[in-house]
């Protein structure tokens, strides 16, 4: 499909989890804006839910990056006391209210779906109406770093635990699905698997990758830059680099589509 035809389609956008690497999503959004592409329905998990909410709110790319730079999501100074997590996730509520003062899905300018994991029921849950901030925090509450979020009298955590690429809400509702997957799995060496923490991280990453691979491959257009593998999911120094990788990858692809017009 060429760019001109793509511009006339009803687009759905799927944004994966992946920590700091999620800034690549913002780079993709910047490229989409420059090439006249706008998604009507957005769905995301973890950091993808946060980026998706900012996009659905009409927040500029510049302000999206400011949000992640100023909001201490990747800073370890919000330690939790007497909670099951190193960082008290609910301390972010007031910060989020400055970006989402309406605190509701209905207050957004686009249809948004976020997925979070209900720890008590052991189920994934899609949320698309009502209160906004707590579901966003829940979707991004990666254990054991962030404490679970109490929402509707139940405990929720990172959506990526059970669904890191939540494409389900856009299937059959749009003409064309654009996916941005930043949970990259690269080859590993023995030296990178010499303790239990490294091994656990590797196994978890492989499980998430395998579970979501089929859905990822069904996207009509997918951005999955391998260069992101060199950026740690909690490495704040990689914010700008991840953004640049996402932008450059999407720009190259859109230029290719335009050349076929």
Would you please indicate which residues are annotated as catalytic (active-site) residues?
A: 46, 158
Cβ-in-10-Å burial (0-12, 13-18, 19+) of 261 comes to exposed
Give me 44's structure tokens: 């995301």
- Would you give the DSSP letter of residue 144? T
Tokens of 35: 């090439």
DSSP assignments along 60-116, one per residue = -HHHHHHHHHHSGGG-S--B-SSSSSSB-GGGGHHHHHTT-TT-BGGGSSSEEEEEE
Buried b (16+ CB within 10 A) or exposed e, 210-226: eebeebbeebebebbbe
């Amino acid at each position: 499909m060429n760019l001109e035809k793509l511009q006339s389609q009803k687009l759905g956008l799927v944004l994966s989890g992946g920590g700091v690497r999620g800034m690549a999503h913002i780079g993709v959004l910047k490229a989409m804006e420059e090439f006249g592409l706008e998604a009507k329905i957005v769905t995301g998990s973890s950091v993808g839910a946060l980026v998706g909410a900012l996009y659905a709110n009409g927040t500029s790319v510049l302000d999206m990056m400011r949000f992640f730079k100023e909001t201490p999501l990747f800073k370890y100074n919000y330690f939790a006391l007497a909670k099951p997590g190193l960082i008290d996730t609910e301390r972010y509520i007031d910060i989020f209210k400055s970006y989402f003062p309406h605190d509701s899905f209905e207050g957004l300018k686009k249809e948004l779906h976020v997925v979070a994991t209900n720890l008590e029921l052991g189920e994934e849950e899609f949320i698309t109406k009502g209160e906004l901030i707590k579901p966003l925090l829940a979707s991004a509450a990666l254990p054991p770093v962030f404490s679970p979020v109490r929402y509707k009298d139940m405990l929720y955590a990172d959506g990526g635990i059970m669904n890191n690429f939540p494409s389900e809400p856009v299937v059959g509702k749009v003409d064309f699905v654009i996916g941005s997957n930043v949970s990259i799995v690269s080859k590993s060496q023995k030296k990178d698997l010499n303790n239990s923490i490294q091994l656990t991280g590797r196994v978890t990453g492989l499980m998430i990758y395998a579970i979501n691979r089929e859905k990822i491959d069904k996207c009509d257009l997918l951005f999955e830059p391998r260069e992101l593998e060199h950026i740690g999911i909690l490495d704040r120094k990689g914010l700008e680099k991840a953004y640049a990788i996402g932008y450059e990858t999407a720009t190259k692809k859109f230029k290719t589509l335009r050349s076929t017009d």
